[in-house]
């Protein structure tokens, strides 16, 4: 009897650990930003004809396809992940999950997510979801080991979720979606340039080609951060100009943009890992605040 109790406990612990490992393949923190941006795209053009059920389908389908893309990405990068300090403890490099388990999991939840978007919403949203997944694993992931332009291509993938949200709400694409696409695109670039600087030695070990590799003093990285921060502000103005936000949104976006720019100035003056981390943290704070302002502006102002 005692052996059975201990055996049941051990099996339960193993099962919980296995589930946690599968969940880790989806990169929950990154997935949260994807879902949040999809919700933003849904909210901006939303009319009285939209329902909570549509939003639930969008959340569920996006989460499954996004998680599947992240799992397949880790399956493809298990060797470089094993070489980098920041990723060597992931489920695949440590052997907590096998390559076949990760591949099967990624494919299954991706297909389920596509079906949810197709059946629950429309073909356009499902097609955009598939485009996001394929561009991530077939374009961005391979390019990371070939060219520094991978970051710019990856930005396109990361800016598609709000377009999915728009398609879910409207059943079509309108030119007014371009500013929010641009906002997500130009937000990602300084965000990832900061990460590339923080972990530039690690990325070299993994064989990834990053902007920071040929930038000894940080000037090139800072210049790209500046440029894209300015484009980010221009995108936020465009959101206002197409009547997706009020003057209150414009004031909030301007304040956030100024703070973001100021942090980048710190990195330009002294390109340390610490200041790169400040840019990274500023980007992490910027996005949910910007989305929060837009959502509040849409419903309550």
Instruction: Please give the Cα distance from 183 to 241 (Å, whole number).
Output: 13
Q: State the pLDDT at residue 57.
A: 96
Q: State the pLDDT at residue 285.
A: 93
Q: State the pLDDT at residue 11.
A: 47
Q: State the pLDDT at residue 301.
A: 60
pLDDT per position in the chain (301 positions), as tens? 555 544 555 445 556 788 899 999 999 999 999 999 999 999 888 665 668 899 999 999 999 999 999 999 999 999 999 999 888 999 999 999 999 999 999 999 999 999 999 999 999 999 999 999 999 999 999 999 999 999 999 999 999 999 999 999 988 999 999 999 999 999 999 999 999 999 998 998 888 989 888 888 888 999 999 999 999 999 999 999 988 888 889 999 999 999 999 999 999 999 999 999 999 999 999 999 998 898 888 776 6
The CA-based diameter of the chain, rounded to the nearest angstrom, is 71
Task: Report pTM.
Answer: 0.89
CATH superfamily of 27-172: UbiA prenyltransferase (1.10.357.140)
Q: State the pLDDT at residue 44.
A: 86
Please tell me the CATH code under which domain 174-301 is placed.
1.20.120
Decide: 55 and 46 in contact? Cβ < 8 Å.
Answer: no
Domain boundaries, the chain: 27-172, 174-301
Q: State the pLDDT at residue 6.
A: 46
């Amino acid at each position: 009897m005692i052996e059975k109790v201990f055996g049941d406990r051990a099996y339960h612990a193993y099962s919980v650990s296995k589930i946690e490992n599968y969940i880790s393949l989806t990169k929950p923190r990154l997935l949260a930003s994807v879902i949040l941006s999809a919700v933003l795209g849904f909210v901006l053009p939303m009319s009285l004809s939209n329902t909570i059920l549509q939003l639930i389908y969008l959340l569920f389908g996006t989460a499954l396809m996004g998680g599947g893309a992240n799992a397949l990405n880790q399956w493809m990068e298990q060797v470089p992940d094993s070489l980098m300090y920041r990723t060597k403890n992931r489920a695949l490099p440590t052997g907590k999950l096998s390559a076949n388990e990760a591949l099967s999991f990624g494919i299954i939840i991706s297909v389920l997510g596509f079906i949810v978007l197709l059946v629950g919403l429309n073909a356009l949203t499902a097609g955009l979801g598939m485009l996001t997944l394929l561009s991530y694993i077939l374009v961005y992931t391979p390019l990371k080991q070939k060219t520094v332009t991978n970051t710019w291509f990856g930005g396109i993938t990361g800016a598609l979720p709000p377009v999915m949200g728009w398609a879910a709400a409207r059943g079509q694409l309108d030119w007014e979606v371009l500013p929010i696409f641009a906002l997500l695109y130009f937000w990602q670039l300084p965000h990832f340039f900061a990460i590339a600087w923080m972990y530039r030695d690690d990325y070299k070990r993994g064989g990834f080609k990053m902007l920071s590799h040929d930038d000894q003093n940080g000037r090139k990285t800072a210049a790209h951060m500046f440029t894209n921060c300015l484009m980010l502000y221009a995108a936020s103005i465009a959101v206002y100009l197409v009547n997706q936000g009020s003057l209150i949104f414009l004031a909030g976006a301007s304040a956030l943009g100024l703070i973001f720019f100021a942090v980048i100035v710190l990195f330009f003056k002294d390109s340390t890992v610490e200041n790169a981390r400040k840019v990274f943290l500023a980007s992490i704070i910027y996005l949910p605040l910007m989305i929060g302002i837009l959502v509040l502006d849409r419903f309550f102002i």
